[in-house]
Amino acid sequence: MANYFNTLPLREQLAQLAKCRFMSMSEFDDGVDALKGKKIVVIGCGAQGLNQGLNLRDSGLDVSYTLRAAAIAEKRQSWKNATENGFVVGTYEELIPTADVVLNLTPDKQHTPVVKTVMPLMKQGACLSYSHGFNIVEEGMQIREDLTVIMVAPKCPGSEVRAEYVRGFGVPTLIAVHEDNDPKGEGLALAKAYAVGTGGHKAGVLMSSFIAEVKSDLMGEQTILCGMLQTGSILCFDKMIEEGIDAGYASRLIQYGWETVTEALKYGGVTNMLDRLSNPAKIKAFDLSEELKVIMRPLYNKHQDDIISGHFSQTMMEDWANDDKNLLGWRAETAETNFEKTPAGDVEISEQEFFDNGILMVAMVKAGVELAFETMTAAGIVAESAYYESLHETPLIANTIARKKLYEMNATISDTAEYGCYLYNHACLPLLADFMKDIKTDVIGKGLSTDDNGVDNARLIEVNAALRSHPVEAIGTVLRGHMADMKKIV
């Protein structure tokens, strides 16, 4: 199988990368009609599989689950998930031939064997749906010509997909049609109905392409989302210990700090996150982030280049074929970092203190978000995609760190994200070694001394203008505006 993206002419590559459009509510007026009466069979019953299935069934659709024979025979967790929720469960052989729509909600790594197994069983003219385009774009999976291939990807964890639906809302969702596999021209109608069935249309749907989804998703997850937070955690923690900060305090500041500062990011972008700092601290964070951006830009470029060229997925797939040697080795290393091994101390840190004593963390988030966004858009990915795959998802990952630190974060995210995260981390740690030498507790651990809150007016105006005029802020304001209109709650 050849990398699909690389088989396309440049003009087509650019056209596909640039696809991303925020759809209007009126485009979903037909509701779930396109799927009504059709038999939907879900492969895999993990968090996404189960929760999407629950939503689709509650929207009046016919949903059943297919699992490998062994999972059924051994009554594995996936089998329990499906049966306790009252779904029909059957083997591939039993259910796939009856399906009008097959939802492949297995982990990326299993896509090739799963799709190869189910494709011959699928009936003529049926639809195969993905929630991630890796298999099509990077692995170059060829799908039978009579089958329609779509993607529907809710941009939240499975539990959230369900919780929002039950509230009467949904989560932002990305949809795409694989144009090489749309023989009846019904791909878009099916994808829209699927998005309605999961409630996604209420929270906003982005019409994208398989290629834009893959190339932006990979970039976001390995750099700012997971990689930057992992590297930042390790560096900030070790620095604080080196400077004599209490280990319990340092551990707590990092573990919960990302979540707290990115909460501000979620509501009001980089600008709001920086606005939470005092004026001198804001200028400090801005200067640090400018420095970080200069040091890290080549690394972000390399990641994006390797993703676009297919080098990244190729090396990762080689590791898959090599029994995950690298991945498992790196995962074990993560468990051994000092930050991971030091439990958060039983100290109270107020919400504001996370900002005041975590200036460097704020600077790292700003640098990572802006670099990821700039690199993606420079590679031809449109701002909407770049925003969702960088700034929008950062708080979600920060939340998993708050819950259980780095090891758990890596266990929770996809294998592709985890692999990319380690790659980034290994390159970024030495890259920032010199930078970290000059770092003191005023920017991580203790905060600036508060004797003088004065700043130079001209400099403050410059910094504020720079923050507010960054392109990620412009698109963020538009997209968060859409969200706020739709979701009064936030």
User: Catalytic residues, which ones?
Assistant: 132
The smaller minimum CB distance to other proteins, of residues 9 and 86, is found at: 86
Q: What binding mask, one character per residue, do residues 345-384 give for other proteins by CB under 8 A, x or -?
A: ----------------------------------------
Residue 336 interacting with other proteins (CB under 8 A): no
Out of 169, 279, 331, 407, the only residue in the binding site for other proteins (CB under 8 A) is 169
The smaller minimum CB distance to other proteins, of residues 80 and 341, is found at: 80
| CA proximity to 133, closest of 96, 176, 99 | 176
Dmax of the chain from CA atoms? 75
Q: How far from 123 is each of 110, 187, 409, CA to CA, in Å?
A: 21, 16, 39
In angstroms, the CA 158 to CA 52 distance is: 7
Out of 8, 58, 442, 448, the only residue in the binding site for other proteins (CB under 8 A) is 58
Q: What binding mask, one character per residue, do residues 15-54 give for other proteins by CB under 8 A, x or -?
A: -----------------x---xx----------------x
Specify the 3-state DSSP secondary structure of 39.
strand
Tell me how far, at minimum, the Cβ of 396 lies from other proteins, in Å: 18
Residue 60 interacting with other proteins (CB under 8 A): yes
Residue 11 interacting with other proteins (CB under 8 A): no
HEC assignment per residue over 424-452: HHHHHHHHCHHHHHCCCCCCCCCCCCCCC
Question: How many residues form the binding site for other proteins (CB under 8 A)?
Answer: 25
Using CB under 8 A, which of the segments 57-65, 283-291, 322-330, 380-388 binds other proteins? 57-65
Residue 76 interacting with other proteins (CB under 8 A): no
Tell me how far, at minimum, the Cβ of 168 lies from other proteins, in Å: 3
Out of 21, 116, 167, 459, the only residue in the binding site for other proteins (CB under 8 A) is 167
Please, which residues bridge with residue 42 across strands? 65, 103
In angstroms, the CA 68 to CA 66 distance is: 7
Task: Report the Cα–Cα distance between both ends of the chain, in Å, rounded.
Answer: 43
Contacts of 201 (CB under 8 A, 6+ apart): 23, 25, 28, 170, 173, 192, 195
DSSP state letter for 123 = P
Tell me how far, at minimum, the Cβ of 74 lies from other proteins, in Å: 15
Residue 86 interacting with other proteins (CB under 8 A): yes
The smaller minimum CB distance to other proteins, of residues 42 and 472, is found at: 42
Residue in this structure with the two tokens 């009466």, named with its chain if needed: 37
Using CB under 8 A, which of the segments 8-16, 167-175, 215-223, 289-297 binds other proteins? 167-175
Which structure tokens are listed for 467?
């923050």
The smaller minimum CB distance to other proteins, of residues 53 and 476, is found at: 53
The smaller minimum CB distance to other proteins, of residues 33 and 146, is found at: 33
In angstroms, the CA 377 to CA 74 distance is: 47
In angstroms, the CA 107 to CA 414 distance is: 7
Out of 16, 52, 59, 181, the only residue in the binding site for other proteins (CB under 8 A) is 59
Q: What is the DSSP string of 173-226?
A: EEEEE-GGG-TTS-HHHHHHHHHHHTTHHHH-EEEE-HHHHHHHHHHHIIIIII
Which structure tokens are listed for 294?
């200069």
The smaller minimum CB distance to other proteins, of residues 52 and 223, is found at: 52
Please, which residues bridge with residue 205 across strands? 173
Contact call for residues 92 and 112 (beta carbons, < 8 A): no
Out of 185, 346, 438, 488, the only residue in the binding site for other proteins (CB under 8 A) is 488
Residue 85 interacting with other proteins (CB under 8 A): yes
For strand 148-154 and strand 173-177, is the pairing parallel, antiparallel, or unpaired? Answer: antiparallel
Residue 202 interacting with other proteins (CB under 8 A): yes
Residue 98 interacting with other proteins (CB under 8 A): no
Tell me how far, at minimum, the Cβ of 170 lies from other proteins, in Å: 9
* Residues at the contact surface with other proteins, assessed by CB under 8 A: 32, 36-37, 54, 57-62, 80, 84-87, 166-169, 202, 486-490
